[in-house]
Structure formats: C-alpha cells, structure tokens
Structure 1
C-alpha cells in the first residue's frame, strides 16, 4: 500500500494580505498581535506561523517588503543622458514610494527586526551610487567626490523631508524644498549652479509622482 504526502503551496496573496493588514493597523494605531492581525480576514492565527514563523517573522517580512517596493520604484525610473537629473528623479521616486506606503516605510527603519535579505537595502543605495559615478564620469562632479558619501547625503535629504511630511508637521508642499537642497549638494560636488538647477528641476517632482 502506497502513501503520499500532499505538499500545500503557500499562496503569495495571503502573505501580502497579512503584511498589508499589519501595516494598515499601524496606520490607525491598533495593536498588532497574533489574533488581531487575522481578525476579519477569514484566516486563522496559524497562517502567521505558516507564512512567517510567528510575529517576529511578520515584522521582518514587513521591513523586507518596504525595501522590495522601494527597489522596484527606483528600478522603474527611466534614466536619461543627464546623471544629475537622474539623481533628482531617483530622489523623487524615493519620496513617492514612502508616501504611497507610509506604514511600511516606517517599519523599514525599525532596526529591532533583522531584514530577511539585507542586500535589498544595499541595492536601493547602489542605484544612487551608480548615478553619482555617472555624474563624475560626465564631468559634472569633481573627480575626488566620494559616490557613496553623496548617495548617502541624497538619501538623507529624501528621508528627512518625507519623514517630516508623512508624520507631520510639514505639508506636502514642503517637498518642493528638496530641489534647492539637492541643488546645493550637487553644486558642492562641482556641478555648475545654473546647469544643476535645471537638471534638478527636471528630475525632482515628488508631489507629481507621489
């Protein structure tokens, strides 16, 4: 007599449902617990263990999902022949991603839970580093500019502005100030003021893309 074991395939839609459910609960400041996260979903608490191994796994997955969506948003940016414009456009995409999923965005930076794949965060930063390297190669930035340092500073500009807008106290219109901040940063790297202002103006459109 033969026996067989039925392997149940996990449904990616259920995994996403639980992640977004937990994020929505954070938005309205509801306690995220094993029971509350499945309440009203038709799922049992076992689903949290099946898909995440428990609540800690769910929090890790939420962090990972945030970086996964950010990477996808940055990858979708169409690069041009102007690397400085592209740097500003990547910053806009960063802001747009954060405003589209503000709850996942907050969880992304909760260092209390390790990422499932830490390389995902590195990939997001690498897209900025690559653009800075292109700006150096095109003669827009000085040869002694550190691409990682400028990429980090660019990230900090976007992160600071979006944090103040997403959680208050600044209105969405404050995002427009990012253009002048990035222009100051990029001109300090050697770009010409007028050329830089024009490039950043073409790329920095967070309220239009967000």
Structure 2
C-alpha cells in the first residue's frame, strides 16, 4: 500500500498573526528574533520559514500587508457622481485604515524593507489620481491642475493628520481639521468654496 506524504495547508491566520506581532514589536522597539517573534504564539520558529522563507521575507510581507489593507479600504469607497466627494472619502478611508492597523501603518513607509509587489502599493495612490482626473474633467478643478500632484497633496494631508493622532500628541477629534484643509486645497485648485466644502464634508464624514 502506498502512503503518500501529507501536505499541510498553510493557515492564513498564522501568517497574519506573525505579521501583526512583528509590526507591533517594531513599533514598541522590542528586539525581534525568531524566538522572540513566536514566543507565546503557539507556533514554532519554522513557521517563519514556512510562510515567509525567513526573516527578510517577513519584513517584506509586513510592508506589503499594510498596502494590501489600504487598497481594500480604498476599494470599499463607492464611486459617485461627485468626484470631489469621492476624493475626500478616499482620504477618510486612508485615515480609518491607518487607525485600525497602526502598527502596520508605521511599517508601510519604512523604505529599509523592500516591497513584495511595488506596483500594488503604487495603485493605492493612483486610485486618488484617477478620482482627481474625474474632478478635473467635470470642471471642478482648473485645466492646469496636475492630478498626480493633487492626489499626492491629498495623501500628504491624510498622512500628516493620522501620524499626529496615531502617535500623539493630537486627539482623534483633530481629524476633523481635514475638512477645512482639504476644502482649502480644492478651492485653490479652482473648485467653488461652498461646493467644495459640501463635497468634502460629505465624503470625510463617511
């Protein structure tokens, strides 16, 4: 009788556990080794090789997971007839995602670790670029506005706010300043003040 070798299926929960634990240890500046990483998790050090091929693969997976979760959050933002509202809603989704996974959020922008899929990470910004292009095409922004530049500025605003809130010193309520800041940005791009404020408020509150 032939007895084949049993192939164990990888458990996504174990992969997520190790990624989140490593990200937390980085944020709290705990020394990370194979043993300290798995301590108390119920999995062996071999799991790091099974799921990531080693520690280097784990670092890459951490950054990629951050962008993967951001992409999922942005995908959930509905596209409406108001692209300025949508742009603000994407900004709000960016903040919500960062506060939901603060440890991974900090690792996302650590260029010391390579990304598994840089194109997938770039797509999170291009999602905003396409929305800015729609607003420009509809006449909400001036014809000389560069959608990439505007999307980048929108990203910077969100990144600045959430960084100050997630790590202190600002309280969560400070995120509401995003409405005034984005409104001013979009008005500077040619949108009417009242229309911009209404669109931003609606999108940001989501």
TM-score by length of 1: 0.92
The CA deviation at 1:28 is 4.4
SS of aligned partner of 1:84: helix
The CA deviation at 1:29 is 4.1
SS of aligned partner of 1:36: helix
The CA deviation at 1:2 is 6.6
Q: In 2, distance between residues paired with 1:90 and 1:2?
A: 56
| 1:37 corresponds to 2:55 | no
- Where in structure 2 are the equivalents of 1:86-165 lying within 5 Å? 86-165=86-165
Deviates more, 1:40-49 or 1:147-156: 40-49
| 1:177 corresponds to 2:177 | yes
Q: In 2, distance between residues paired with 1:145 and 1:77?
A: 24
Q: Give the aligned length.
A: 206
**Ranges in structure 2 where 5+ consecutive residues have no aligned partner:** none
Q: In 2, distance between residues paired with 1:61 and 1:85?
A: 33
**Structure 1, residues 146-166: CA drift from partner, whole Å, max 9, x if none?**
010000000000001100111
The CA deviation at 1:5 is 5.0
**Ranges in structure 1 where 5+ consecutive residues have no aligned partner:** none
TM-score by length of 2: 0.94
Q: In 1, distance between residues paired with 2:121 and 2:25?
A: 24
Check whether the contact 2:82–2:199 (CA below 8 A) recurs between aligned residues. yes
Q: In 2, distance between residues paired with 1:29 and 1:16?
A: 20
The CA deviation at 1:58 is 0.9
Partner of 1:64: 64
| 1:47 corresponds to 2:47 | yes
